[in-house]
Structure 1
């Protein structure tokens, strides 16, 4: 019941209410984080990009056009703009491609301590992913945007206490 005291309770990645990541390694993201990144690059509002980055939305790199129809030239936007950069970083780090890793770290503006620069493989991957996409930031954004305020929440929580 979206009209009840708790408001809308549906989860939807295009609204930023779903997080993806690794609790074990301490990194996470929602579509909102990537929409914010690309918003400044493409000069498009983040809300509009959030809707484009999830679901049946495809981007054709050759024509630079968006489509809702799957075709051989179209790639799903979530894969292109979110998963591909993550997979490239995973591949470079886990396959010990030091030059490529450094280029990606520079592009993503990830600063590592001298001790962290000495790491390789999985330990380096954990540090890099935590630096780039810290789980705490994603959770904080999701909580502040999607959970009701204490004033709103007390209305239905207090009711449950006295049932």
Structure 2
């Protein structure tokens, strides 16, 4: 793999302290088969020094090589060699972050959903942009949002949106003017419907992007995957009466009362909340409550509900 230079990627994981970089890295390493899945998050594989293990923080940047395959347009199972660097999040070790960023192609920015963008998040983002490194955002600890905050689905969307907007504000604040205005906006901006924002839990080793759900729903809605991605974020609502997407949340009422999933207090539910968060949260609650009979029906539930509406 080292001889195939075009298929080598150097990625740095950067974030504020205790936002879950090392835990997320453990999950990625376990997916590559280097450590057992049961130990991911506890072993802290990248914290190789004794003082790092004792204090529970990353002090030195550490790298590991991972093998990955992905399906592309013209070829399936294309192999890649990913050199992943776990960098410190503490402000005292910012020099380690700079050293890591100067040998990487891209940066995975990890943000705690509950704490949001913090001081060191801005610092490491500024360092990445100074090195002209394109960031990709991962909103971590969704399990804590569901179990601790227990917000409504609309409140969950606002939490995610605020975190994404905060990251984009930082990217636009410290952008490199030499790249040009149009190029800068496209290069540094992270948006969910472009596939550059991930959601998940590093501790429980699960995550997704809107691209995953767009592939699931594209044939149901009769749209391309790219167009479906745009419908699953922002001011987009599925109208079961018109059987079409609308951009205004208008009140809709049913006589049969069988369409509660599409409505909330007489209004349409946002597409992201309805088709992404609702099945995940239902599945999460079923797993946490050990309701095995609800797990399998929920996986195919949302797709079947679309079919019931005649689409």
Is the shorter-chain TM-score for this pair beyond 0.5, marking a shared fold? Answer: yes
Q: Which protein has greater RCO, CA pairs closer than 8 Å, 6+ apart?
A: 1
TM tier, smaller: 0.5 to 0.7
Residue in 2 that maps onto 1:90: 284
Total equivalences in the alignment: 106
Uncovered stretches (5+) of structure 1, i.e. residues with no partner: 109-163
| TM superposition shift of 1:2 | 4.4
Do residues 55 (structure 1) and 234 (structure 2) align?
Answer: yes
Do residues 3 (structure 1) and 211 (structure 2) align?
Answer: no
Q: CA distance change for structure 1 residues 102 and 14 in 2, over 3 Å: closer, same or farther?
A: closer
Residue in 2 that maps onto 1:70: 249
Q: Is the 8 A contact 1:2 1:9 kept in 2?
A: no
Superposed CA RMSD in Å reads 2.3
Residue in 1 that maps onto 2:293: 99
Q: 1:29 aligns with which of 208, 211, 217?
A: 208
Uncovered stretches (5+) of structure 2, i.e. residues with no partner: 1-180, 251-265, 302-311
Do residues 40 (structure 1) and 207 (structure 2) align?
Answer: no
- Counterparts of 1:62 and 1:97, CA distance in 2: 33
| TM superposition shift of 1:62 | 3.9
Residue in 1 that maps onto 2:114: none
Other structure's SS at 1:20 match: strand
- Counterparts of 1:95 and 1:61, CA distance in 2: 31
Moved over 4 A (4+): none
- Counterparts of 1:90 and 1:29, CA distance in 2: 14
Q: Is the 8 A contact 1:61 1:74 kept in 2?
A: no
Higher strand share: 2
TM-score (norm 1): 0.57
TM-score (norm 2): 0.31
- Counterparts of 1:102 and 1:35, CA distance in 2: 20
Residue in 2 that maps onto 1:18: 197
Higher helix share: 1
